[in-house]
Structure 1
C-alpha cells in the first residue's frame, strides 16, 4: 500500500481546500521523492501533471476538483490508500510534434491528448496532408485539423466529429475541423506508428497556429506528428472505472 504520496492541486479554491484536508489526513511527500502523485483539479491539471512527471517513474492518480474531469477519479477523502492499492493502471504515450514557422523557426512539443492546427484569420486554411511520406490529400480547405491519441479521442476530437478510439488500440485519429473542401472528407484512422506531415499552403496569406496540448506556436508552415512510444506515463483509475471503460462508455451516451 503506497505511503509516499505527493498531493498537487490546481489554483481553484476547491482544489486547494481538498489538498490541505488530504495532507492532514494522509501526510505528504515532496513530489520528487513520491512514488504516487495525487492530482486535485480538472483535466487541464491532469495534462499538466502528466507533462511534469513524464520523465520520472511515478504513477498519477487524479481526483476531480474541476469541471468535466474525464481523466480524473471521483473525489472522496476516505479510503484513499485502499483505492490506490486496488487501482487499475493505464500506460499512455504522447505525440511528438515538430513544427517550422513561416520565418524558419523550429519548435517541438509533446501532447497526450492531441495536436491541432487552426486558422488565425478570417481566411480558411489550406493544408496538404502526407502520411509516411505519401501525399494523401493535396489540398484541404478548412478551419484546421487535429491528430488525437486514444486518450484524447474523446476530447476536442470528439467535438470535431472524430472517432472514439479504444484506449488500448494502437491507433491515431486524423480529424478535420470544419472542412469546406473536400466537403465529404471526414478524416482517417491511422496506425499509431504513422508519421503525419501537414504542409500549410499559402502560410503568409492564410496564417495557421498549432497547439500540442497547452503549448501553442504561431504562423506555422510545416507540422510533423508521430507517437513517441519510448515515452510513457502511468495513470491510476479506480477499479471498474478505468480509462478504457470510460472511453467505451462514451460511445453509448446519447
Structure 2
C-alpha cells in the first residue's frame, strides 16, 4: 500500500462475489452495502421470499438455504465455490431461564447458532482454502462476552461461534483465507420486537451503552464491508464489536464524581 490510488481502492469490491446468509434484517443491510461497494451479491435465507426481496434490491440472485441442514450447506458450497465473501447473520434465541429451558429449546438454538455456524465455516471455508482466498464473516453478539438472565444457551452459542472463528482463522490463514466475527449490541430488527414493545425494557437497553441508544441494521454494514475488503487484509481471528460501547462501560447508573472518590 504505497500510493494514493491503492489507498483509495481499499474498500472497493468490484469483481468479488459475496454470499449473505440470513438475508433479512441485518443481512439485508449487509447485502446492500456490499453491493454498493461493487460486489456481486447472492442472498440466502430459509425464507426464500426474504432472500428474494433483498436480492431484488441489490440486483443479485436468491437461494433458499437452511443452515441447520449440514448437507444443504455442503451442497450450497459445492454449487457456489467461487464465493470471495461469505457473511452469516442467521441466528435465533429462546429467552428462558435455565430452570425453565426445555431440551427442544436447547436443540433449536444450538442447531442454528452453533451447528449451523460450524457448517458454514467448514463447507464454505473448504472452497475458499482450495482457491487460496476469501473472507468469512460470522455475526456473534455482545452475549459472547456479557450475559443477563434468560440468555444462557444463546450466549453459549455466540461464545462458541467466536471460538470457531478463532480456530478457523488459525487453520485457514496459511491458505490466505480470513475469518472474523462481528459482535453487535442491541439492534432494531424484527427479532427485537418483544423488547421494543415494552418501553421500560427498551429504554433500559438504550441506556446500557455509551451512546445511549439502539442501533439500526445499516450501522452494522460498515463493519461487514471493512472485513470483506482489502482494508482488513491483515485482520483475521478477531471480533469487531459494534455495540455502542455496551461492553466497555458499566451503564445504567452515572455516579457523581470528584477527585477524592475512589473506584
* Higher normalized contact order (CA 8 Å, seq sep 6+, divided by chain length): 1
Specify which structure has the higher proportion of strand. Answer: 1
When normalised by structure 2's length, the TM-score is: 0.24
